[in-house]
Amino acid sequence: MPDQIAGLPELRGECARCFGLCCVALPFARSADFALDKPAGKPCPNLQDDHRCGVHADLRTKGFTGCTVYDCFGAGQKVSQITFGGQDWRRGPAERAREMFDVFPVVRQLHELLWYLTEALELPAARPVHPDLRRALEETERLTRQTPEELAALDVAAYRQEVNVLLLRTSELARAGVGGKGKGKGRGKGKDHRGADLIGARLRGADLRGASLRGAYLIAADLTGADLRCADMIGADLRDADLTDADLTGAFFLTQPQLNAARGSAGTTLPESVGRPVHWALRR
């Protein structure tokens, strides 16, 4: 991946240890993110025999921005090397390949949960729920190591809901006491913006310290110079959001794919758990 996660190396995609699963298992539709339609289970035409992308260096210019945003959280190498013991889908029976493609999205969701749980355990304010978080982390890791048959049968959506209860409590503890009761149009400190429609919102310089932006739609929002310290960013849609000079110090549950989808600058302050996207440096 061009934009690697700064920490948690086991939860970062290692394409060299994967059989190009995201380029085969996942579907995509012709749009601003993808130059063509591709159904699930069909290899992308840019995928080479060695499982490398033939246009990797030019993905954005060739209309595959969606590929530069995506990260599997390490699920690709887990499925390739552990779940299926290093068996290349190209060289096995078709049934085995389909099974691998079905399992990959499940493990990807579990690995995303591992990311959130690992980060939650790094938050001192969440200490009251650390024992529960550790148990959830151990159980999630155990689930990722199940057999292909067990993984295919797992109700991963239901399991995510169970873990989300813990993550919500973690968020409440981490944001408690941050900011104040501020007033204003979406600018108050510690405000709850869960699932809010903030598409294209003008939030330049907004005080969003300790805010909950869980699942908020911030597509193309202007967050230039916004104060997002200690904000809960889980599931926030940051596609084309402008984070130029924004301060995300202490922001949590922020993932690399979210940042990769946004715009930013050298002046954008980021949490240590994520890296500065390469394409930010190319902005003029």
User: For residue range 192-242, what is the model confidence (pLDDT) as tens digits?
Assistant: 999 999 999 999 999 999 999 999 999 999 999 999 999 999 999 999 999
Mean pLDDT of the chain: 90
Indicate the pLDDT class of residue 278, thresholds 50, 70 and 90.
Answer: confident
Query: What's the whole-number mean pLDDT along residues 271-276?
Result: 90
Say whether pLDDT at 155 is over 50.
Answer: yes
Predicted pLDDT at 282: 58
Predicted pLDDT at 141: 96
* Token reading at 117: 């749980």
Note the pLDDT tens digit of each residue in 14-70: 999 999 999 999 999 999 889 999 999 999 999 999 999 999 889 889 999 889 889
Q: Please indicate whether residue 242 or residue 279 has the higher confidence score (pLDDT).
A: 242
Say whether pLDDT at 189 is over 50.
Answer: no
Residue 7: phi and psi, rounded to 5, are -115, -170
- What predicted TM-score, i.e. pTM, was given to this entire model? 0.89
Say whether pLDDT at 2 is over 60.
Answer: no
Predicted pLDDT at 17: 93
Predicted pLDDT at 179: 65
138: which residues sit within 8 A by CB, 6+ positions away?
none
The long-range contacts involving 258-265, CB below 8 angstroms and separated by at least 24 positions, are: 258/233, 259/3, 260/3, 260/68, 260/69, 260/70, 260/71, 261/69, 261/237, 262/238
Predicted pLDDT at 283: 53
Predicted pLDDT at 251: 97
Say whether pLDDT at 188 is over 50.
Answer: no
